[in-house]
Amino acid sequence: MRNRRAVLSAARFGRPVTRLEIARTTGLSAATVSGLVAGLIADGVLVELDWRIPAAGVAGGRPAAALAVNSALGTLIGIHLAHAGIRILLAGVDGTVRAEHTHYIDVDHRPADTLEYAASTALDLVADLGIPHRKLLGVGVAVSAPVLLHSQTLGSPPMLNDWGEVDIAPRLRKRMGLPVHLRNDADLGALAEWRLGAAASADNLVYVMLSEGVGAGLVLQGRLYDGDAGAAGELGHVTVVPDGQVCRCGSRGCLKTVVGARALATTLAHSHGSVRGFTDLIDLAHRGDPGVRRLLGDAGRAVGTALAPICTVLNPELVVIGGTLAQTGEPLLNGIRETLTRGVSPVTNRTPDVLPGTLGTRAEALGAVITANQFADLG
């Protein structure tokens, strides 16, 4: 049974695999994998797709049959509770998104309303698709705060204003009648870009989420890195201006106080009047506004300043930039590249590539779906 679970876990979610890849991942022999895969196909858990995967890194290797988890097994729910709104995704175990809903709401100040809205909307989407409750496999929740993984509670001090006393997972579990797993949103963005997006071929990467919240997720040697208390990757609270603005966390000059939505709008107020959040900023950036391009270049350089020592220490292959601000494009990315080129020590041999995420602002909710899938009982 343990080997069967190992094979299934190697084949899980969104990235079809070959028998050879399963053998490599699990360390099981080709014959054992072949027998277990046959059993899982016979039980309807795995399916053989009608296309083949080219052999990677094997001279003369032949393309092999692609295996995936059977999408008919059930549906997963991903919820992203960001600072400025909620995103809800319904997806199959093969990674196909079946329904999506976004809603702008002040998440920071209305925990009870927000959770009720998220639960009822997700269940409405399920009903709209005619999915029976027994076909729901679980819920993943991405939150803009550190999460203590063992207790499934928010770390202290809570960065969302009124959320300190709210037990998110038990409340949603009771309301939805499903298993619920909670994780930090930037960590889940990293998981999604690694499994499904821009970093699909890298096993060492830093994902940076630049939205109303600022954070990072780390994948190191093929595993999402949690840190001691589940709070790894709090890039938004790395000091970049020693005597800068006071941050909600109690430090001064945190990256978040420099590149957060409010900070960017304040910096533009003198020259551009009222800029309403990221929507206006993205629009102005795409129209080539020189002041906004300068602002975004400076924001990128601030992000690079926080990232450079991390890249020197961890030696990642890739830095993936996600979140709403990533939609502003090249001025921001070039600012980051410029600072990393200058700031990452030559002893690491190369500066990591900096790429925009390919999953957009969906990444965190997709990561929530993946984490729900990791805990689901597929048989």
Q: Where along the sequence are the contacts to Zn ion (CB under 5 A)?
A: 237, 247, 249, 251, 254
Minimum CB separation from Zn ion for residue 276, in Å? 24
Element housing 104 (H / E): strand 97-104
CB closer to Zn ion, 94 vs 234: 234
CB closer to Zn ion, 254 vs 310: 254
CB closer to Zn ion, 131 vs 249: 249
Minimum CB separation from Zn ion for residue 254, in Å? 3
Minimum CB separation from Zn ion for residue 341, in Å? 27
CB closer to Zn ion, 91 vs 210: 210
Cβ–Cβ < 8 Å for 331, 293: yes
What's the CA gap between 189 and 366, in Å, rounded?
8
**Ramachandran sector of residue 149 (left: φ over 0; alpha: ψ -120 to 50; beta: rest):** alpha
Cβ–Cβ < 8 Å for 168, 276: no
Minimum CB separation from Zn ion for residue 239, in Å? 8
CA–chain centroid gap for 182, Å, is 12
| Strand bridging mode 180-184 / 136-143 | parallel
CB closer to Zn ion, 147 vs 282: 147
Minimum CB separation from Zn ion for residue 320, in Å? 22
Handedness of CA 185, 187, 192, 197 (dihedral sign): positive
How is the beta sheet containing 318-322 ordered, strand by strand?
223-225, 214-220, 205-210, 318-322, 353-356
Give one DSSP letter per residue of 38-94, joined into a string. HHHHHTTSEEEEEEEEPPSS-TTPPPEEEEEE-GGG-EEEEEEE-SSEEEEEEEETT
CB closer to Zn ion, 25 vs 251: 251
Minimum CB separation from Zn ion for residue 144, in Å? 13
